[in-house]
Amino acid sequence: MNDNPYKPVDAEIVDIVDESPTIKTFVVRPSEPVGFKTGQFVELTLPGEGEAPFTPSSSPTRSDIMDITVMNVGRMTGLLHQCGKGQPVGIRGPYGNGYPVEQFAGKHVYIVGGGVGLAPIRSLFLTLVERIKHFKSVVCRYGAKTPADFIYKKSLFGGWPEIDGVDISLTVDQPDGDWNGPVGVVTSILKKDDVYIKDAAAVVCGPPVMMKFATLKLLEFGFEPRQIYLSMEKNMSCGIGKCGHCMIGKYYVCKDGPVFTYEQIMKYPDIWD
């Protein structure tokens, strides 16, 4: 066991899936099993270059490999996108709290996602459907910029909608010729009667502006702030609640989050920025 929390476990990229023009999923095999709870995150090191936090998008039932879905948005993610199979990497973690799946038991789980925000949601979704009977329903609303920007296309258009107890709707901001679904941001396909609100938990993950407006919409529908679970994105360096970068109020997103109820953080400034 590693008693230095700053030292990663060696790992290797064993497969790469192109998800969209800007998003790839890296299948990573750590040299020793890294068990995680859905919604927890890891710090992925590209040796000598840097590290960045990602929530694995695979099911936590497998600890020998994990999928890490990465959008090319900055220096580290750009470098990762240039990596091929066999690339040595490092993993620290898992860190943070993860989704409180046990609290969702017996409820409707209302999932609202945008863009690469589907990555943590995929892990949650896989966890939920493994014991779908424990939940009243799993309702997923997901938006992407264009049809090409949907990730996990095979599951999204194939397997997932077929599962009993699952209800999925998709929307795009900009349609192409083949798209015959709804057009608009994800909040435009949220309906008040999608779930029985009194008996539901909402999970929101996506770009900050989408999370903000989805949260406002859910509140307008009558969700209580404590029923809305947000996966917060902040700059996380150490991952263990010390370095200070990821603070939201008194919370360290890396240690106390990344999943917070809106009730926990609503009084603090800058949560959506």
Partner 1 sequence: MKSVLLTELATFLDAVAGEMDLYVPKQAGEHYVFTRYDRKAGGPAEFNTVRTCVPVKEFLFPLRELAATSAASDKPPDVKPFAVFGLKDCDLRSLEVLDKVFAGDEFLDPFYSKRRQAMFVITGDCTEAGESCFCSVFGGKPFAEKGFDLNLSAVDDGFIVDSGSDKGRGFLERHKDLFGKVPDKAIAQRQENRRKVQADLDANNRLKAGMPLRDVVEQAQESEVFDSEAAGCIECQACTRVCPTCHCFYLYDSKQKDYFTKTKIWDSCMRLGYAAVAGGANPRKILGDRMRHRMLHKFVYFFDRYGLHMCVGCGRCVDADAGGMDIRRILLKLSQQVREKGAKTAESVK
**Tokens at 81, concatenated:** 């996108």
What number of residues does the chain have? Answer: 273
Query: Which one, 28 or 128, has the nearer CB to partner 1?
Result: 28
User: Among residues 35, 47, 181, 184, which is the contact residue for partner 1, using CB under 8 A?
Assistant: 47
Site size toward partner 1 (CB under 8 A) is 44
User: Shortest approach of partner 1 to residue 41 CB, angstroms?
Assistant: 13
235 lines the binding site for partner 1 (CB under 8 A): yes
Half-sphere exposure of 229 (CA within 13 A, CB side): 21
Query: Which one, 126 or 271, has the nearer CB to partner 1?
Result: 271
User: Shortest approach of partner 1 to residue 94 CB, angstroms?
Assistant: 13
In terms of C-beta density within 10 A (0-12 exposed, 13-18 middle, 19 or more buried), how is residue 227 classed? buried
241 lines the binding site for partner 1 (CB under 8 A): yes
| Site track 74-103 with partner 1 (rule: CB under 8 A), x = hit | xxxx------------x-------------
Q: How many Å apart are CA 124 and CA 119, to the nearest integer? A: 9
Taking Cα atoms as reference points, which of 58, 59, 60, 77 lies closest to residue 68?
58
| Site track 173-212 with partner 1 (rule: CB under 8 A), x = hit | ----------------------------------xx----
**Tokens at 36, concatenated:** 């995680």
User: Shortest approach of partner 1 to residue 57 CB, angstroms?
Assistant: 17
Q: What are the residues whose beta carbons fall under 8 Å from the beta carbon of 42, sequence distance 6 or more?
A: 34, 36, 53, 54, 55, 56, 66, 68, 91, 92, 93, 94, 95
**The one segment of 16-24, 169-177, 185-193, 248-256 that binds partner 1 by CB under 8 A:** 248-256
Contact 47, 105 (CB under 8 A): no
Q: Give the footprint of partner 1 on this chain (CB under 8 A).
A: 3-8, 10, 45-52, 71, 73-77, 90, 207-208, 233-235, 237-238, 240-247, 249-250, 255, 269-271, 273
